[in-house]
Amino acid sequence: MVLLLHRYFTFYASYDQGIFNQVFWNGIHGRFFQSSLSSALSTNVVHQGQFPNVSYHRLGQHFTPALLLWLPLYAIFPSPVTLSVLQVTLVTAAGLVLYLLARQYLEPPLSALIVVSFYGANAVIGPTLANFHDVSQIPLFVFTLLLAMEKGWWWLFWILSVLILGVREDAGVVLFGVGVYMILSHRFPRRGLIVCVLSFGYMLVLTNLIMPLFSADISQRFMMERFGQYAEGDEASTLQIIWGMVSNPLRFIQQLFTPFSRTVTYLLGQWLPLAFIPAIAPGSWMIAGFPLLKLFSAQGMSVLAITIRYAMTVVPGFFYGSIFVVV
């Protein structure tokens, strides 16, 4: 907390912190998800040379309704500092839920060690000490979802499923991995199938039908910047990108392992806090495998940076799966 506050008050906070602060500020004044700073990154400005629009709705870039959960807190303390405090609180709470999750199978000392590993992981420390970001909600939501699954609290499980989908338009990839685990582990196959259909269907409907209603950013900018190697032309929908992967499997496989050294280094960095146990944990691969596929199949240097927010989407699966190997 002290380090993050020091970062802000010494003027190291940057553009993303400003975007989210503006989104929250507009939200408490009834202008939900509007951001002129996000507009400056939109395809209308970047590709068409238009001026940023103060009433631009960010939902065309990233669909993040889960942020509404924290709007009352920001209304009480309307400051960028509130977002920094919120981020640390979310990650801290995630570690506490992880302890309860580990205690379902492990004794207190081992459970505590796993939590210490979580707090000390580069994929957790780096994103936590950065600008506020929506992905900081993922560890808490996913660990709580898994705890609800272990306890048989299905009402809470489905609430968390909806919340995870509301974090970002691509958070369904993480939830899809949980569904695959529920099926392949033979623990809850029917519910797992529902989770897979729900998460995959939601992402397709959201990115192809709902987000384009706000702007063309998802197809003209974000898909092309990350997955343009699978597309033809200047824009592509998620369906077209998926077809590009399926129809050209050699290119897809090549992308997964390119650059090879950075890919291996990334995996080692994710495994190190848990003494490389996730590498041999089937549960880890079932849940974390799909977020990893999303990262490895994308282009750009930031997707393989373990200290950037994207790395947090992989963390819950690796930690949960490792619990069963330690047992």
94-125 confidence digits (pLDDT tens): 999 999 999 999 999 999 999 999 999 999 99
Average pLDDT, the chain: 94
Output the CA torsion sign for 98, 101, 107, 110. Answer: negative
Coil/strand/helix, residue 207: helix
Count Cα neighbours of 85 within 13 Å in the Cβ-side half-sphere: 10
**What is the pTM assigned to this prediction?**
0.96
Task: Tell me the C-alpha distance between 326 and 244, whole Å.
Answer: 40
Q: Partners of 57 in the beta sheet? A: 34
- In the numeric block, which tokens belong to residue 208? 């192809």
Residue 326 reports pLDDT greater than 80: no
Cβ atoms of residues 88 and 4 within 8 Å? yes
Residue 135 reports pLDDT greater than 70: yes
Rounded to an integer, the average pLDDT of 249-277 is: 94
Q: Which of 6-15, 21-30, 55-64, 237-246 has the lowest mean pLDDT?
A: 6-15
Task: Tell me the C-alpha distance between 5 and 61, whole Å.
Answer: 28
Cα 138 to Cα 43, 150, 165, 167: the distances in Å are 27, 18, 10, 7
Q: What percent of the chain stands above pLDDT 70?
A: 99
Rounded to an integer, the average pLDDT of 321-326 is: 88
Domains of the chain, residue spans = 81-326
Helices then strands, counting H and E runs in the chain, come out as 19, 0
Q: What percent of the chain stands above pLDDT 90?
A: 83
Residue 311 reports pLDDT greater than 80: yes
Rounded to an integer, the average pLDDT of 83-91 is: 97
Return the pLDDT at 327: 60
Residue 148 reports pLDDT greater than 90: yes
Return the pLDDT at 232: 86
287-296 confidence digits (pLDDT tens): 999 999 999 9
Rounded to an integer, the average pLDDT of 8-18 is: 89
48-76 confidence digits (pLDDT tens): 888 888 989 999 999 999 999 999 999 99
